[in-house]
Structure 1
Amino acid sequence: MAGGSSGGSTAGVALGVGYASVGTDAAGSIRIPASCCGLVGFKPTHGLVPLRGLIPTGCEHIDHLGPLTRSVADARAMLQVMAAPDPDDPHSSARPASSVPPRDDLAGLRVGVPESWFWDDLEPQVEAAARAVLDLMAGNGATPTPVPMDIGHLAPLLLLPLFVEAYVFHQPTLDACPELYSPDLRHQLMAGQYVLAQDYIRALRARRLVIEALRRAIDAVDILAMPTLPIVPPRIADVQTPDVLELIHNTSVINQSGHPAVSLPMGLAAEGVPMGFQLVGQVHDDYGLLAVAEAVERLIGFDMSLLATRTGTATRN
């Protein structure tokens, strides 16, 4: 699969149809397809790229727009065009991301490794590839450091307010034209009307605790690092509804806090499909995160031509 949501935008860039495209990310739909297609997917700090014109997922605090590209340099170029305050967008931030020069190496970089949650239950070849990237970073001057991330009992609650608010937004269309929605999505949205108010409030409190845990973790270091997906991309025919929760496991939490995050290709699995490595940066340090990502990109040295070999297509650089 190309990644589901934003998968078409991503596949087009991977096939060389264009140099870049735009993805929408409410639970990982920039970084997940980037990981599945061997691209760079960048989710900026929430509010840095205006959301005016975007149909909200439901909880608008989790919606992001960002670039999908074949290199970190192209993602930076896209961000320079896309990031601008918008007085007509209530989510737009007037605070610009600070300009940061490129990095020659990773000397002095403190890399937080949240072993709990983000590194739990990984497919073996995904974990092996991600650990290899950490080793490359350490060899280039970075200092990987375990950081606590005790959110396992809270994170499953984060989708509840999403579907409640999404139902409120979609109710008129659901009532008038239910056939426009796939059966799975229609049933998930309609279930939102039956959530009790006290459960909705508890879920919002869980969200606040998750955001605080993420902030504490990243405030102790410079960036966080983990695999983008805990699994290798599955075949479309094999995807079931529960698999979606597995796909968003390492990405959706970052949408809650609004931190910038980028997925880089870290190699091919035995099945010949790409795997992604995710870096999470400080809020409004988007260009600092991209500078680190570009240095990691050089260390990994992922060869885009490998994708062309697998698909039998020519990929323009």
Structure 2
Amino acid sequence: MTIAAILSRLERAETTAVALLEEVQARVAAAGAQAPVARLEWDRAFDQARAADRARQEGAAGPLCGVPLAHKDMFDRAGSVVGFGAHPDAQRRAERTAEVLARLDAAGAVDFGRLQMSEFAMGPTGQNHHHGMPVNPAVPGGVPGGSSSGSGVAVAMGLVPAALGSDTGGSIRIPAACTGVVGFKPSPGLVPRAGAMPLSWTQDVVGPLAASVDCARRVLSVLSAGRTRATSQPPGRLRLAFDDSSLTEGVSARMRAALADLRQQLRAQGHEVVVLDMGWLAHLAEPANVIAISEAATVHADRLRAAPDSYGPEVRARLCQAAGIPAQAYLRARQIRQIAITRAKAEIFAAADLVILPGLADVAPQAAALAGAKGAEIATMIAGMTGLTRPASLLGLPVLTLPVAQTADGPLSVQIMGQRGAEDLIADLAQHLETARRSDLHRGTDPA
């Protein structure tokens, strides 16, 4: 279920956009309660599919013409209800269509509905007080990751080749790592956020979760109005940095083995592998969180006062605690961000073109660990899942999460991080690695 395969079928007239949508409709129906959907909009989707078929017949097919997609339930579409993963009282009917959806529409994509998400995009596990937790198809009993939980699950299930998510501290990358799909967090400002639910306006970005790097970059090229390439090219010889510090000391033995295999593979391909002490990045998780939660508390201030009981207890507690963060702490966190951005340029990107870090410490944590967990226990799990993703959010760097190994318990993924504007370079390397890994899997081996 890749975009390239779908377009090939359509271009060879082996199927139509309407027939493809009927296939997806059947898969969603077969999945039943396992389908991570919040709202289905088949009537409008079939209208889009018929329009896509007409456009193809007239020679006016866009780059995603007829490709069926669905997205995180946080993007406005004129006339449709947006739920935000929240209590029904928070739902509203949108008057305008989010710019990202409008760009996908113009490219000919077919949007059949909204996907589940963490409440107001707050929470890296995928647990939702109001709507439950989507089932992770890649890790039995594992959390799906959040907050773009439904997007990761829908791609992993093969319901869609790509789905939009949002990332403030890891909300694209974490569910991608948990479900073994590709997640692409672009540079801030590359993709418009107009019509997308705000959480932290200085850290929010919109990007795709996808079945492959090729799928992700095709979607990102549309979202960015062509500012990123839709096709790959050989990455050339790169300086690639790996960490050797406290930042990654908590990762599992099998993740260490996967990273070691990856380093060996990259050296064999002619790249220069640089090992850096990036332990200072671990200290950025707290200022990143202070900024995010302070801005979120500002976004929700009026509604939290008017309808506190409509929030789930964990989200309500976090927002109420954030209301007590002094302005001085928020401003200091923003100062730290500027200092860290300068340091990253001077210390990391002076020595390396791209950085490779674990996506998670291991495979997705088990959902059972959340049962009965409270307060400090939940905070510990959240910190463990976001510790490796928050630094890039604070620094405003583009990152792609890529599965690199399959264990008996689930997938292991890495993050490929670059300087602002390095999306094409990141995707080129990721696509090269993905192709090499698929060749290994075809031969019956796995690097890990």
Shorter-chain TM-score bucket reads 0.7 to 0.9
Alignment partners' CA distance in 1, 2:283 and 2:156 = 37
The amino acid across from 1:146 in the alignment is: V
TM-score, normalised via structure 1 length: 0.85
- Preserved contact between residue 282 and residue 388 of structure 2 (Cα < 8 Å): no
Q: Give the % identical residues.
A: 31
The amino acid across from 2:349 in the alignment is: I
Alignment partners' CA distance in 2, 1:69 and 1:118 = 27
Alignment partners' CA distance in 1, 2:416 and 2:161 = 22
Q: Note if 1:275 corresponds to 2:412.
A: yes
Residue 40 (structure 1) aligned to one of 160, 174, 182: 182
Q: How many residues align?
A: 291
Structure 1 residue runs of 4 or more that deviate by more than 3 Å after TM superposition: 96-101, 151-155
Which 10-residue stretch deviates more, 237-246 or 291-300? 237-246
Change (3 A) 1:99 1:67: closer
1:61 to partner: Cα distance: 1.9
What's the CA shift string for 1:65-114, capped at 9, x where partnerless?
Answer: 111111111111111111139xxxxxxxxxx34788511xx652100123
Name the counterpart of 1:114: 243
Residue 317 (structure 2) aligned to one of 187, 194, 217: 187
- The secondary structure found in structure 1 opposite 2:352 is coil
What's the CA shift string for 1:111-154, capped at 9, x where partnerless?
Answer: 01232354221111112112211211111111110234223444
Change (3 A) 1:42 1:10: same
The amino acid across from 2:320 in the alignment is: M
- The secondary structure found in structure 1 opposite 2:291 is helix
TM-score, normalised via structure 2 length: 0.61
1:160 to partner: Cα distance: 1.3
Q: Note if 1:56 corresponds to 2:198.
A: yes
Alignment partners' CA distance in 2, 1:303 and 1:174 = 50
The amino acid across from 1:244 in the alignment is: I
Q: Note if 1:130 corresponds to 2:259.
A: yes
1:288 to partner: Cα distance: 1.7
Name the counterpart of 1:243: 381
1:261 to partner: Cα distance: 0.6
Query: Could you say which structure has the greater relative contact order, defined with CA pairs below 8 angstroms and 6 or more residues apart?
Result: 1
Q: Note if 1:75 corresponds to 2:75.
A: no
Name the counterpart of 2:149: 7
Alignment partners' CA distance in 2, 1:100 and 1:203 = 38
What's the CA shift string for 1:207-256, capped at 9, x where partnerless?
Answer: 22222233231232110011111232112221351211111111111012
Alignment partners' CA distance in 2, 1:161 and 1:286 = 25
- The secondary structure found in structure 2 opposite 1:168 is helix
- In structure 2, runs of 5+ residues without a counterpart are 1-142, 371-376
Name the counterpart of 1:166: 296
- The secondary structure found in structure 1 opposite 2:184 is strand
What's the CA shift string for 1:147-166, capped at 9, x where partnerless?
Answer: 34223444323211221221
Alignment partners' CA distance in 1, 2:232 and 2:335 = 39
- Preserved contact between residue 44 and residue 261 of structure 1 (Cα < 8 Å): yes
Change (3 A) 1:110 1:36: same
Residue 144 (structure 1) aligned to one of 262, 266, 273: 273
Change (3 A) 1:152 1:44: closer
Q: Highest CA radius of gyration, 1 or 2?
A: 2
Change (3 A) 1:291 1:152: closer
Change (3 A) 1:33 1:163: same
Name the counterpart of 2:364: 233
- The secondary structure found in structure 1 opposite 2:169 is coil
Q: Note if 1:286 corresponds to 2:423.
A: yes
Q: Note if 1:207 corresponds to 2:337.
A: yes
Alignment partners' CA distance in 2, 1:82 and 1:157 = 29
Change (3 A) 1:170 1:159: same
Alignment partners' CA distance in 1, 2:146 and 2:220 = 23
- The secondary structure found in structure 2 opposite 1:263 is strand
Change (3 A) 1:151 1:258: closer
Alignment partners' CA distance in 1, 2:402 and 2:284 = 27
- Preserved contact between residue 169 and residue 288 of structure 2 (Cα < 8 Å): no
- In structure 1, runs of 5+ residues without a counterpart are 86-95, 307-317
- Preserved contact between residue 111 and residue 223 of structure 1 (Cα < 8 Å): yes
- Preserved contact between residue 44 and residue 260 of structure 1 (Cα < 8 Å): yes
